[in-house]
Structure formats: structure tokens, C-alpha cells
A and B are shown apart, each in its own frame.
Chain A
Amino acid sequence: MSQGETFDVCIVGSGAAGGVMAKELCEGGAKVVMLEAGRKVNLGELLSHKWPYELPYRGFRGEKQEPFYQGDISNSISYKDSDDVGVDRVRILGGRTMHWNAVTLRYAARDFKEWSTQGVEEDWPLTYEELEPYYERIEQIIGVCGDDDHLEILPAGKHYLPPIPWRCSEHILKRATAAMGIPLIAVRKAVLTRPYDKRPSCHYCGHCMDGCDVASIFSTPDCMLPKARATGNFTLRENALAREILVDDEGLAQAVSFVDTATRTEQQVKARIVVVCCSTVESARLLLNSRSPRHPGGLANSSGVVGHYLHGHLGNSVSMYLEELQGNKPSNQDGATDHVYIPRYNHLSGKSDVAGGWGMQVNYQSYMFPHHAHGVRGYGAGFKRQVRKMQPGYLQMGSFAKVTANQKNFVSVDPSRLDANGIPTPVVHFRFSDNDRALWHAANQSMLEVFSHLKGTVFPSTGKAPSGFASHEVGTVRMGKDPRTSVLNSYCQARDVKNLFVTDGSCFTTSSEKNPTLTIMALSMRAADYIKDRRKRGEL
């Protein structure tokens, strides 16, 4: 990167959205520079296969996850007047694609039409049919395993890799779901079940969330960025923490100022187009910190909507120890964490008192630690024997439910509270709605109902109230039809600043119960197509 060079596009952030954008634009002939606040962590540096007793605190203090949270990212945030929520901001090349479970579910047609179908929130400014080709393309690039289950609530792709084989407990679980008349399907994950795109198949170690040390799980550094690099059009700046997007006299984006956190120097990169992909909270933070005479309330914020409509997922978890598996000889059940999935089904029974639904992920926790030991009463030889006997029966389930997008929930920045590089930090303000609480209770009850059809010991959730966002926060720079309640058009383009795009989860209008990453990538790819087209026409 030479001083004074002007790139066609500057992408801020290298996660799911930024990776797709870089690949697509570079292959389209654009000169792209990517700013990433973290650094690359080589696969060999990951601690995924470390035993607990090889870690200083046996892993109880997040030692395995340290590579994902570089610098002061964990501390540079605060919560004010908030319910029990936490936003997950990672800092590493690849963003959350380095630290995820890789469940990749398409939104259904109705998920884009909350107002039309349920009379809540707003409809998105685009339809499933418009996004469907991008889902298909993305799935083929990243490699998704699964089946076509012919479910309207969970549209399927045409090019899935073979599904992951099921565990004993999952076949047993099928009895319960069959008795309830609800589907239990093979999970759809960006995990390779056969070698694909020069990446190896999964080796079933159960450490998906600790980082995949062989790139069997999709990540941008191992899948998207090599493709971008191969074009000769790609420049990567690691340790580049964006401070502000700078504008010209007309208020258009013209450069991004950043701190090189390795050298502690202030730098700038010029670009004709800026694409923000920093994740929900950080993207809002960057825009709100980009104040200028043309944009006094923050960049692209004439509506005052930037930062607002923060939402995500409600999470909850229950576990059970199946009677018929207890006492069995222990076997290796780790696998690729989730192997099956229970799609949303509360919409099938007609009118519901709550808006939205939930899906259930199954067995996404490791089998190494006997979680039930904390719930088994007593001590001594009997206690030890009971813990050992129960462990092979482990079956765990977690629900992910939609949170309502509400204008009153927002991210602001606090100019008086700076991070280690002197950048104002974000403040989260969030309260659950009555619908959120009702949905959380309903999801919890439904998991217990599923387990009630099976024999064994159930450990219900200890949570008494909803918590969020299960690392799935979205919505602070939303797209929409109405300029008064949205920042972006359906191509993730800022209405106020035509050469500014925001394509991470912050662009979501509303949320469904599905994990957001696949939709983030599809939206980013669609935005990339739009940018390529407008560049060809000379409009950008």
C-alpha cells in the first residue's frame, strides 16, 4: 500500500460480511483494501485441542478463547439501564468466522415479512426470492452440509454436502419429536463432511467454537481471503482499528482513519467506496464516531436511526441424561457439536399469543466435562459413581428465539470513555419487551415438553429471566423501506451517503429465530453485485 494511493473500495472488518465482499469485489476487478482491527492467528496457534489441565486455569477463564479477543476489545464497552444482555465482539482476522458453531440457516420468506404475517415490526425491503440466488451461491462457496427437508420455514439449498451422522442420543430424541409431530432434521452447518475447495473434512473433535485448526469449518481467512488475494487486487491491513470515516465537502466518504495498534500510529487510507463490516455494535460505533459538519449526528444518520433497533437472540439451555444410555461404556461422542436441529414449529398450530418463534440446537456442548456434576446432590463414593454413570446419557438442547426490533434499544458512544487508542467506546441500552419475555418462557417450556417424552434426569435452565443475545446481535444500521425508520436501502447502501455500505448484521431490519450468519453473507454478496454493477455504470 503506497502512501496517497486511492483504492476503489475500503472494507472495514474481515468477518463473514467483509470476507464475502472482498472476494466478490476483487474478482470483479476492484482494488480493495481491508482494514482489520485484529491480527491473523495461524491455525497452529489455536488452542482448540488443548486439554483443560494444559491450560493455566483449566479453561474456566476463557483461555482457549483468548486468541479471538485481542487488545482491549472485551473491556471497551459498557451497559447502561440494560437487562441481562451481552454483545460478543471478537477481534481477530476473520472475525466471528474464527469463533463460531457454523450453523447456517436460510431465513424463510415469512421472516422478511414480520409486519405482513404477524403485524409486528416492519417488513424488510427485500424478499426471500430476491435473496435466494445469493444463499445458493454462498452455500456453494463455503460448503454447507445438511439435507433438503422440504420445510417452508427452513428453505434448503440444492448443493449440500452429506449431513453429519447422528449420535445415539439424537436418534432417541427423534422418538420425542415424532410423538409431538415436529421435525428433527440434520443440522445445516458450514462444516465439511468431505474434502471441499482444498479444505479437509471435519475430524469430529468437538471444538468448533474454539477455532477449527484445519479449516474444516468455514472462515474468511481460509476460504474467502485466499480467493481475493489470488486476483492481485487485494491489500490487507491487520492491526488497523478504524477510528472514523472521513468525508469530502459533499459529505461523501473519501477515507478511513485508523490506528495501527502495532505501531500506535494514526494513519488513513483513501477509497472511492467504503464498506463497513465491523459487526453490529462496532459498525454503529464507527458511524456515530464519524461526525462532521455534513453529518453532525454521525455518518449517514440524518434519520437518527444509527445505533437504534439493537436486537438479537434470546438464548436458553436445558440438559437431560437419558436413562437408557446411562451406565454405558463411554464412547467418543464429541462429533462436530450440533448434528441435528429442531426447526421452528410454533407457527404450525395457528394463532399464537406471541410474535416470532424459536429453533432448537442440540448437543452443541463438549462431552468432556460432566456438567451434571454440579446438579447431583451429595458427596463421596456414591456421588462420584452417580456422576460417572450418568455421563454417557448426556443430551443437551438450546433454544434460540427472536428478539423484537425496538427503536428504544440502542447503542450510543461515550466521548468521555475512551478505549486504549483514544476512541470513544460504545454503550448498550437494552430492555426486553413483553413479547420477548413471553417467547423466552414459551421456548423454555417447549424444550421441557420435548424432554418429557423421554426417560431420564432433566436439568432445567437455571435462568429465571431472558438473556441475550447469544452472539447474534443485529440491527443497529438497519435497512428498510421507510427512510424515517431505516438507514440503508435493500442493497445495504446508506441513503445519506451513496458510496457508503454496511453489510454486517447491523443491516438487519428484523430478526428471526435462525442464526444470522448465512443471511449476512448473502446480503453482503448481493450488495457486492450492486456495487460492481454501479461501478460499471460509473455511478460509484
Chain B
Amino acid sequence: MERRDLLKLVALTALSPKVNALQAAAACHMEAASAKPQPAQLKLQFFSEEESRLLDRLMEMIIPADSHSPGAHAAKTNFFADLMVATSDDAVKQQWRDGLRLMREESDRSSLGEALRKAAANEGNPQNDLEQFFALLKQMTIDGYYTSATAIHQELEYSGNSYLPAFPECTHPEHQG
């Protein structure tokens, strides 16, 4: 719903005794919720600059930019990962530190692309530490990217979390039982 539609609804509601004033309150609340958030502080708390750069490249390879929308790099998914790991227990921190080291070592032997391909070789049934780290890395990338403004609004074109005066019933003939 556009801002002008919301304001129009609020105005109409205020004039109509038949419509509960809370409807207007809901619309106002939605307007507030739709406001763009302040940019987060992008300051590393756990990873080193070098680790974060490596993470950023890996995450962009997992969810890259394409013609439809930006990818994990633009969504700053590496900073999400940094926050989540920084606020986890020591065992989790060690997993990430070790995992990135393994990726770096593997990359040094070939290339980062080859290292990622090797890490993803047995997805679903990881056989070694590198493959186990891929599961961790991919999960974090998914969680960070698909909860970003980039993914929600551009990639998935999600249009919910909004105020609907009525829910549109499916009337497609092809969907009816």
C-alpha cells in the first residue's frame, strides 16, 4: 500500500463513525514499520579484516548478484555473520575460525572457487571438516541474506508485512478443487 493510500484511509477512517479508530491506528503503525531502518554499524566484532573479506567472497559465491537482484556481498551478509559468531560461545567461534582457515588453505592450493566446490562436494553427508564447514557457511549465508532488505524487497519481492483492509480470496478457476 502506498503512503498516499494509507493517509487517505486514515482520513476516511477519521470521518467515518462506522469504522473503528483502531483501523487508523493500524495503518499509522504500518507506515512507521515501513520506514527504512538506520544503517547498522558495520564494525567487525569477531572476524579479522582478512577473515571478513574471505567470508564476503565466499558468501557472494553462494548467493551471487544476478540480473534480478544484488547478492550476499551487497546485503553485507558477512557483517551479519560476524555479529552472530561474535555473540556465540567459544566452540562456535572456533568452528568459524578453523573453517575459514581450512578454506584459505584449500584456496591457496588451487583457487577459492575450487575450494568451495570441494567443500560442497558431499552436501547433506559431509565427510570431513571442510565439508562440515560448508554446511555452516551456507546456513549462515541463507539466514543473513534472506533476512536482509535486499533479499526481502528485491530478490523475493515480498509484499507482506503490510496493512490489508481485506484479504483477497483466490478466485483463480484453475486452483479450485
Contact = CB atoms under 8 A, between A and B. Distances in A.
Nearest to B68: A388
A60 B139 CA distance: 12
A213 B29 contact: yes
Interface in A48-73: 49-54, 56-60
Interface in B122-174: 123-124, 138-139, 142-144, 146-149, 152, 155-170, 172, 174
A378 B120 contact: yes
B61 A60 contact: no
Contacts of B161: 49, 51, 205-207, 334, 368
B156 A388 contact: yes
B64 A384 contact: yes
B20 A198 contact: yes
B29 A49 contact: yes
B71 interface: yes
Contacts of B166: 165, 204
A180 interface: no
Interface string B21-48: 0110110011011000100100000000
B164 A332 contact: yes
Interface string A362-387: 00001111100110011111011101
Contacts of A164: 167
B29 A330 contact: no
A170 interface: yes
Contact of B61 (A207, A379, A388): A379
A437 to B, nearest CB: 26
Given A49-B30, A58-B143, A195-B19, A214 B64 contact: no
Interface stretch (A106-114, A171-179, A264-272, A438-446): A171-179
A336 B177 contact: no
Nearest to A376: B142
Given A165-B169, A203-B163, A330-B156, A60 B143 contact: yes
A378 B33 CA distance: 35
Given A170-B170, A204-B164, A369-B147, A384 B23 contact: no
Interface in A139-168: 164-168
A324 B175 CA distance: 9
Interface in B79-118: 80, 83-84, 87, 116
B37 A213 contact: no
B62 interface: yes
Given A165-B169, A170-B170, A379-B116, A332 B64 contact: no
- Interface size class, chain A: 35 or more
B66 interface: yes
Contact of A54 (B37, B142, B156): B37
B163 to A, nearest CB: 5
A51 B33 contact: yes
A16 B175 CA distance: 38
A174 to B, nearest CB: 4
A15 interface: no
Contacts, number: 159
A58 B80 contact: yes
A540 to B, nearest CB: 39
A324 B142 CA distance: 25
A332 B158 CA distance: 7
A168 B172 contact: yes
A379 B120 contact: yes
A45 B55 CA distance: 36
A370 B146 contact: yes
A168 B116 contact: no
Interface string A222-234: 0000000000000
A175 B148 contact: no
B143 A380 contact: no
B139 to A, nearest CB: 6
B11 to A, nearest CB: 16
A339 B170 CA distance: 12
B167 A335 contact: yes
B29 A165 contact: no
B36 to A, nearest CB: 9
A519 interface: no
B37 A381 contact: no
A293 interface: no
Contacts of A205: 30, 160-164
Given A54-B37, A369-B147, A200 B177 contact: no
A220 interface: no
Contact of A373 (B80, B146, B149, B164): B146
12 contacts: A49-B161, A53-B37, A57-B87, A60-B84, A165-B170, A195-B19, A203-B26, A204-B167, A330-B159, A334-B162, A367-B158, A385-B66
Given A52-B147, A172-B175, 7 more contacts: A59-B147, A164-B167, A171-B172, A205-B162, A324-B175, A379-B61, A385-B68
- List the 5 closest A-B pairs by CB distance, nearest first: A165-B169, A49-B33, A174-B177, A52-B147, A334-B160
